[in-house]
Amino acid sequence: MTSRKTVLVLGGSSDIGRAAARAFAKAGYDVGLAGRDVAALEPDAADLRARYNVEARTFTFDVLDTASFDGFVEGLPALPDVVISIVGLLGAQESAQSDLAHATTIMRSNYEGPSLILGLFAERFLGRGSGTLVGVSSVAGDRGRASNYVYGSAKAGFSAFLSGLRARASRGGVHVVTVKPGFVRTKMTEGMKLIGPLTVEAPVVGDAILAAVENKTDVVYVSGKWRLVMLIIKTLPEAVFKKLKF
Amino acid sequence: MTLVSGWGRFPVVDSDVLRPRSFEAVGEAVVAGSVARGNGRAYGDAAIGAVRTIGMTGFDRVRSFDPATGRIRLEAGVLLADLIDTFGPRGFLPFVVPGTRFVSVGGAIAADVHGKNHHCEGGFGRHVESILLRTGQGDTIEISREQNSDAFFATVGGMGLTGVILEATMRLRPVETGWIRERVISASDLDAAMRALDVGDAATYSVAWIDCAARGQNLGRSLIYLGEHAGKGELAAGADAFPLGKKPGLSVPIDLPSMTLNRTSIRAFNELYYRMGARRAGTSHVVSLYPYFFPLDAIAAWNRIYGRRGFLQHQCVIPQDGARGVLGEILDRVARRGDASFLAVLKKLGQGDGILSFPLPGYTLALDFPVKGDILSFLDEIDRLVVAAGGRLYLAKDARQSRATFEAGYPALSRFNAIRKALDPDGVIRSKLSQRLFDEV
């Protein structure tokens, strides 16, 4: 083992996960990439080693398999300095309205799994007295909207979990970052109509996560415009809001 | 279907755009009438599939890098900007960079792009050792100078028509710093400019900016920029060995009205630019590699300056003998016309490497024109001069040359077609450019 700092990225094969891993590796961190398909993560690990001359390893992690979480944390070669959860599932709102299995998967992927795993790491970090946890939530969690409230409500739960965890953990030397990326051009949003000025590329999110960890920021809206947009959306009276179609 | 265009935003055509995320998915995505697209910096219709366009920028991984040799294996969608930012600070740069760093490795191979050092280092393809190619027939093959060499030399400069470039192994150039020692020479006319470029053969990098609004005895007046890699000892005290590549600071957020660039504004800009440059002439100073190699990258979306209808870049190469007369004639016609832009570049090229590579020993002249009026017939006339002089046009910039011009300029075309046929007997790989210039109708 080197004496360099380490980051573990949960959801390492996502575009934001890859971008975050690159940002941290560039800053000199050794990287662990965790995801369901560990073979698919290997090319990304090789990319980090070739580019930045850091150590990069891969781990199997399934956010829906909560029973495996204790063993997963236990099985890591060392407790990382930073853990980032980028896991999430946009799903399809329309099917989630009647397909309970799909709705459950969305809720578990965006709320239950990410909260539980970061909660587990929080206990270890508090025991050690240091560490940073990053949860990638969503502006969709700021207010439930007609077009994506199943996903949005799960993200709202995750944001609330992170907020509470931050308040508790900050007294024990552990920092918690909530990231709300807004629109990002990724595999997840491919084919969606995104509003150009409100849309960023994945590397911008990766850099924002690194900056938030280094500056100990609490809540990050990757594009400042989103903070304003969501402020307006949050303050609309319900009587007006319910008439909006978005 | 999606409306797609190249960097010149002319033509704008329908193509089905897919962005596969695995090499298996690339295979599934390729249907009859497909071509790969990198970062979309070819100006015309080269990277637009006849039916389907395969977006490759998601393939942006470096597979391996050996700092002892500079040998790198990477996926075809890696941008040169990314390579420079990542490996520059480690002391390595691409041997060849074109005028923008926002091109993919796959695109740079397919167009066999050249830089300001073609006279020394050849084109991009010269530094590529091998390529992983997915042919139109569906085979995935490794090609190099030793293995499948026909396919290799057809793929370097082959405009993506031999198949989808998936990965490549190439060499990076070790450098001490990311700075360039630049020397500016001011040339008062075309003869002086060509002499200065001949002197520039001894320099690692050389390029001339031509004031194509200048006429009469000023015709062809130029600023010649010679460059050498600066050593650590040449840097100002405290300077970083590798300068930071800034994100574009300026952007053109909307299409400017096409009248923004007119005879008066271009003349005024060029006059100012020439005078400012001429004041620095003769001196030598150290500049960051970014403004030296990529001056226009500082302005994001600069293609919008030409307005909604887009623009054409006309880049020809004229063989050494007789180049003076033809270049003079072209510049005179352009100056009299008055709407060519500030981006007029004259460079010397050496021998090309690929079967369809653009370079040949001589001078290359690049001019931008907004799409309007009789520009197409004007350029047809220019093409006649180019062909008569034994020259040809750069396919990566082209959106409008005729088949006759193309066939006259590329005598190795039949050899290329035979290799292409062997790799892709059913003609699956087809772009809008190949439909326009290559394919049987």
The residue ranges of every structural domain in chain A are 6-241
Q: Give the three-state DSSP class for B397.
A: coil
What tens digit of pLDDT does each residue of B259-282 get? Answer: 566 777 777 878 888 888 888 888
| pLDDT(B257) > 70 | no
The predicted pLDDT at position A234 comes to 83
Which residue of A lies nearest to B87 if distances are taken between CA atoms?
A51
Which residue of B lies nearest to A202 if distances are taken between CA atoms?
B58
Among A41, A47, A48, the residue to mutate for chain B (most B Cβ within 10 A): A47
Flag if B63 and A52 touch (Cβ within 8 Å): no
Q: Contacts of residue B63 in chain A, CB cutoff 8 Å?
A: 43, 46-47, 50
Check CB contact of A207 with chain B, cutoff 8 Å.
no
CA–CA distance, A223 with A180 (Å, rounded to integer): 9
Confidence of residue B258 (pLDDT cuts 50, 70, 90): low
Confidence of residue A236 (pLDDT cuts 50, 70, 90): confident
Confidence of residue A152 (pLDDT cuts 50, 70, 90): very high
Position B338, amino acid: G
| pLDDT(A134) > 60 | yes
Average confidence score pLDDT of chain A? 93
Long-range contacts of B409-416 (CB under 8 A, 24+ apart): B410/B356, B412/B355, B412/B356, B413/B356, B413/B438, B415/B355, B416/B154, B416/B158, B416/B355, B416/B356
Across the interface, of A43, A53, A190, the residue whose CB is closest to B61 is A43
Task: Tell me the backbone φ, ψ of residue A242, rounded to 5 degrees.
Answer: -70, -15
Which residue of A lies nearest to B92 if distances are taken between CA atoms?
A51
Check CB contact of A46 with chain B, cutoff 8 Å.
yes
Contacts of B228 by beta carbon, 8 Å cutoff, 6+ apart: B180, B181, B203, B204, B205
| pLDDT(A122) > 50 | yes
Closest by CA position to B244, among listed B172, B292, B178? B178
Q: Which two tokens stand for residue B416?
A: 């290329």
Residues of chain B above pLDDT 70, percent: 96
State mean pLDDT over A163-192. Answer: 90
**Domains of chain B in sequence order:** 62-176 (3.30.465.10), 179-406 (3.40.462)
Angle at A52 between CA A14 and CA A43, to 5 degrees: 40
Across the interface, of B19, B21, B86, the residue whose CB is closest to A51 is B86
The predicted pLDDT at position B397 comes to 97
A221 is catalytic: no
* CATH architecture for segment(s) A6-241: 3-Layer(aba) Sandwich (3.40)
What tens digit of pLDDT does each residue of B42-60 get? Answer: 999 999 999 999 999 999 9
| pLDDT(B97) > 90 | yes
What tens digit of pLDDT does each residue of B118-150 get? Answer: 999 999 999 999 999 999 999 999 999 999 999
The predicted pLDDT at position B138 comes to 95
Exposed (0-12), middle (13-18) or buried (19+): which is B263, by Cβ within 10 Å?
Answer: exposed
State mean pLDDT over B167-190. Answer: 96
Confidence of residue B248 (pLDDT cuts 50, 70, 90): low
Confidence of residue B340 (pLDDT cuts 50, 70, 90): confident
The predicted pLDDT at position A34 comes to 98
Task: Tell me the backbone φ, ψ of residue B358, rounded to 5 degrees.
Answer: -70, -40
- What's the whole-model pTM score? 0.93
The predicted pLDDT at position A186 comes to 83
| pLDDT(B283) > 90 | no
State mean pLDDT over A209-222. Answer: 95
* Higher pLDDT among residues B371 and B305, named by residue: B371
The predicted pLDDT at position B328 comes to 96
Peptide bond into B411 cis (omega under 30): no
What tens digit of pLDDT does each residue of A60-99 get? Answer: 999 999 999 999 999 999 999 999 999 999 999 999 999 9
What tens digit of pLDDT does each residue of B22-36 get? Answer: 999 999 999 999 999
The predicted pLDDT at position A1 comes to 46
